[in-house]
């Protein structure tokens, strides 16, 4: 769970201008067998990062030393497919703290917020523009201010507001954990059970 605080992040970005990237591409099913949360970063985008021979695929962006940073800028419709949270762990474990797209799958969005990874939705136009900028100049920095809910492209100063559920925002800002919150309301849960004739 998210015990990681998120407030302001300034970073370069890694561009992944592909649409409809699903969780199986983020972390292929054959790597789900682990029973801990760590280490999934090694297999992030596994089948794109490595050739069939096991050699790193030089053409893939994560293997390109020119690009780096804590922000992943993806194409539209990111994270669809199976509900595996491993996809988020892999992205987080690899070192990303925010993902930018113009559309995320629901479960992926939830899983991200629960694990300290900030999903930011921007317009298609801005997304394409941002990708082009990064491809042209990999040193392009962005600034994410969670408190203000703004994403700023530093070289141009262009700034947009992004949406986030206010409760999740509080949690991320404070590094608070949903489970801590719920454990604190045990009495309410028990009295719900007593009143509601819960099915056994």
Q: Which residues form the interface with other proteins (CB under 8 A)?
A: 1-2, 19-20, 24, 28-30, 32-37, 76-77, 80-86, 88, 103, 105-107, 110-111, 114-115, 165-168, 170, 178-179, 181-183, 185-186, 188-189, 192-193, 196, 198-200
Rounded least distance, CB 32 to other proteins, Å: 6
Rounded least distance, CB 39 to other proteins, Å: 12
Nearer to other proteins, 143 or 169 (CB): 169
User: What radius of gyration, in Å, describes the C-alpha atoms of the chain?
Assistant: 18
Query: What's the sign of the alpha-carbon dihedral 14, 38, 81, 52?
Result: positive
Q: Are 143 and 154 in contact (CB under 8 A)?
A: yes
Nearer to other proteins, 103 or 142 (CB): 103
Q: Which of 158, 148, 91 is nearest to 126 (CA)?
A: 158
Nearer to other proteins, 30 or 155 (CB): 30
Nearer to other proteins, 30 or 137 (CB): 30
Cα 162 from Cα 144, distance rounded (Å): 10
Q: Are 42 and 29 in contact (CB under 8 A)?
A: no
Rounded least distance, CB 38 to other proteins, Å: 10
Q: Which of 119, 138, 123, 37 is nearest to 79 (CA)?
A: 119
């Amino acid at each position: 769970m998210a015990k990681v605080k998120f407030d302001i992040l300034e970073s370069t970005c890694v561009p992944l201008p592909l649409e409809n990237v699903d969780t199986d591409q983020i972390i292929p099913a054959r790597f789900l067998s682990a029973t801990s949360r760590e280490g999934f970063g090694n297999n992030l985008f596994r089948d794109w990062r490595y050739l069939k021979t096991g050699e790193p695929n030089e053409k893939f962006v994560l293997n390109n030393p020119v690009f780096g940073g804590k922000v992943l800028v993806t194409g539209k419709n990111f994270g669809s497919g199976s509900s595996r949270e491993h996809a988020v762990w892999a992205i987080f474990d690899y070192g990303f703290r925010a993902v930018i797209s113009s559309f995320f799958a629901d479960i992926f969005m939830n899983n991200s917020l629960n694990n300290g990874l900030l999903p930011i939705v921007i317009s298609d136009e801005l997304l394409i523009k941002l990708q082009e900028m990064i491809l042209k100049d990999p040193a392009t920095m962005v600034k994410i201010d969670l408190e203000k809910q703004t994403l700023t492209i530093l070289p141009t100063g262009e700034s947009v507001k992004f949406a986030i559920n206010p409760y999740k925002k509080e949690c991320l800002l404070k590094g608070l954990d949903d489970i801590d919150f719920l454990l604190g309301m045990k009495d309410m849960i028990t009295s719900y059970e007593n009143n509601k004739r819960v099915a056994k």
